[in-house]
Amino acid sequence: MPVELEGAVQLRVALKRFAPDLSKETQSQMAAALKTVTTVARGYVPNDGQVLSGWSKTSSGADNLVYRPFPKFNSMQAKAGITYSTSPSKPNKNGFVALARIINKSAGGAIYETAGRKSGITGKFTPNLGGDLVGTTQKLRGRAMFRTWQEDQGRAKGAILKAIFKSKEEFDIKVKAHSNG
């Protein structure tokens, strides 16, 4: 899934500063590619009745707002939590920045996505979640977002790379025309 592009962050900064219209166009092209993936991924999230019964129930009373030992699953929140971002992320521990990414902001949805990734399908919780862990490596396996990305077969990644390379070409043409004129 990840692709390393040198100078991509600098290009995004230059586009935003010197060609804001081109920057907006690039972001909208990237967003269009990611929007289809997030829409399909939301379809793989189970309804509340399809997960373990105790995981979706909330306890009553004020204690629920103060202390929650394990995030509860809410299908609507999990589906709404699957979203995308086309703004650069903060650098990770290796210094890499994501220019476009799909994320799940819901704790319950993130648990559904990745439960059993390291330990395998063991215990009572993970085997009863349903949905297969799909992906190429252990870190890139999941039930909804990663599954959708795998089924996409690189179309979204190709569209994002095409948008970045196209904007670089157009930006270079603008810079050359400005320096000659």
For residue 61, the model assigns a pLDDT of 53
Q: Where are the domains of the chain?
A: 8-46+75-180
- Tens digits of residue pLDDT in 81-104: 999 999 889 999 999 999 999 999
**Distance separating alpha carbons of residues 48 and 38, to the nearest angstrom:** 19
- Tens digits of residue pLDDT in 108-150: 999 999 998 888 777 778 888 877 888 888 888 899 999 999 9
Question: Are the CB atoms for 13 and 170 separated by under 8 Å?
Answer: no
**Distance separating alpha carbons of residues 81 and 70, to the nearest angstrom:** 17
Q: Is the pLDDT of residue 29 over 90?
A: yes
Reduced to 3 states, what is the DSSP secondary structure of residue 84? strand
For residue 118, the model assigns a pLDDT of 83
* Global confidence as pTM: 0.83
Query: If you ran DSSP here, which 8-state letter would residue 122 be given?
Result: -
**CA atoms in the 13 A half-sphere facing the CB of 141:** 15
**Residue 135 bridge partners (DSSP):** 141
The helix-helix angle for 145-152 and 155-180 (nearest 10°) equals 70
